[in-house]
Amino acid sequence: MEERQRPGLVIAATGLRAEARIAARLPQVRPVHGGGNAQRLERLIREAIAKGGCAVISFGVAAGLASGKGPGTSLIASEVVHGGEEYVADPVWAGRLQAAIPRAELAVIAGVNRPLLNPAQKEALQAETGAAAADMESHIAARLAAEHKLPFAALRVIADPAEKAVPAAAVAGMRSDGRIDVWAVLAALMRAPGELPALLRLSADMRRAMAELFRCHRRLGPGLGFFDLV
């Protein structure tokens, strides 16, 4: 028999399984990971809401859009923008996150449907939206929270800054279940060995971002700060 979610859990929408594992360390959090697949993430969030989810947070790493924000910069969403839509984050929850993580910055986060691979794409999106960072989950989480009239927040840490490109080998390794396919990465490197230095830099930046994400979660109470409000 399928295990049913306990009522009153916060849904943490992530892209990677590694992000979900961090969120799962806190009590009363139900992480779901989309692996870059929008339809999968939406389905999982809807299922979690149906099983008693009472709030939604987008949690994980992001691409930097604004210059000067290096890897490991923590951002708390004031709002999420995507496709001409604006989703305002719950201001009280956002304030609780800021109080718990003083170095985090309040900023606009943009949703994207595919990875941003080069600085030109990041610069164009920043000019269009004014966002400081972008990810592939926040707009989905925000839209579903609004649809179900649930509180929404987003905590994202920059992994690849605005000035850096993402090597194609890194994208090739993304699996729909949120895991990294190492063999796919190696195969892509064999086709383009010149990407190795950029991939190593991205790996170092990702480790720094994930370490910061872990530090952030340790500062938050049950439900990634949400249950401090109720």
Which CATH number is 85's domain given?
3.40.50.1580
Is 206 inside any structural domain? Answer: no
Supply the pTM of this predicted model.
0.85
Taking the C-alpha atoms of residue 112 and residue 44, their distance in angstroms, rounded to an integer, is 18
Task: Give every residue of the chain whose pLDDT is below 50, as ranges.
Answer: 1-7
What ranges in 71-195 are assigned the alpha helix state H? 91-100, 119-129, 138-147, 168-172, 182-191
Is 228 inside any structural domain? Answer: no
Domain count, the chain: 1
pLDDT of residue 1: 28
Sort 215 into a burial class: Cβ within 10 Å, 0-12 / 13-18 / 19+.
Answer: middle
Is 185 inside any structural domain? Answer: no
Q: Express each pLDDT in 134-183 by its tens digit.
A: 999 999 999 999 999 999 999 999 999 999 876 665 665 565 555 665 65
Is 177 inside any structural domain? Answer: no
Is 184 inside any structural domain? Answer: no
Structural domain for 14, as ranges: 9-165+211-223
Is 53 inside any structural domain? Answer: yes
Helix axes of 182-191 and 196-219: crossing angle, nearest 10 degrees: 150
pLDDT of residue 169: 56
pLDDT of residue 36: 83
Is 1 inside any structural domain? Answer: no
Is 147 inside any structural domain? Answer: yes
Sort 20 into a burial class: Cβ within 10 Å, 0-12 / 13-18 / 19+.
Answer: buried
